Structure 1
């Protein structure tokens, strides 16, 4: 299982995937908003989204768990 984590603190602006969806390596899965910038977070490997731990509007810190991919 691969954990996708936040690369910086910010608000979850958009979740681009759903549980059960297949994602490809490098595919954007979440967009964070920090300091008025949109920061895309990409899957590190191909797999299936098992669990989404955040929702749009949540605030996350650097290294917080966002999504589990298996």
Structure 2
């Protein structure tokens, strides 16, 4: 289960860490695009398996930002 970038931009801040549990709707990353901060929320609950894109990295729309393991 992946959290993907809704648009192209730069990862400004990662708000979660591997092993952390997240809830549906919780913000996990903030992107910066065209001088605006865009929060990206998890669409489902789970546990962070990996941070795929780190702070300062450029991402294209649809790229995976965070990988989540499904909630039990």
Structure-2 separation of matches of 1:43 and 1:65: 12
Q: C-alpha displacement at 1:20, in angstroms?
A: 0.3
Listed as ranges, the matches of 1:36-51 within 5 Å are 36-51=35-50
Provide the residue aligned with 2:10 in structure 1.
11
Structure-2 separation of matches of 1:64 and 1:45: 17
Q: Alignment RMSD, CA only?
A: 0.5
TM score, norm. by length of structure 2: 0.93
Provide the residue aligned with 1:52 in structure 2.
51
Structure-2 separation of matches of 1:55 and 1:17: 11
Unaligned runs of 5+ in 1: none
Q: C-alpha displacement at 1:14, in angstroms?
A: 0.2
- The runs of at least 4 aligned residues of structure 1 exceeding 3 Å deviation read none
Task: Kindly tell me the number of residue pairs found equivalent between the two proteins.
Answer: 69
Provide the residue aligned with 2:62 in structure 1.
63
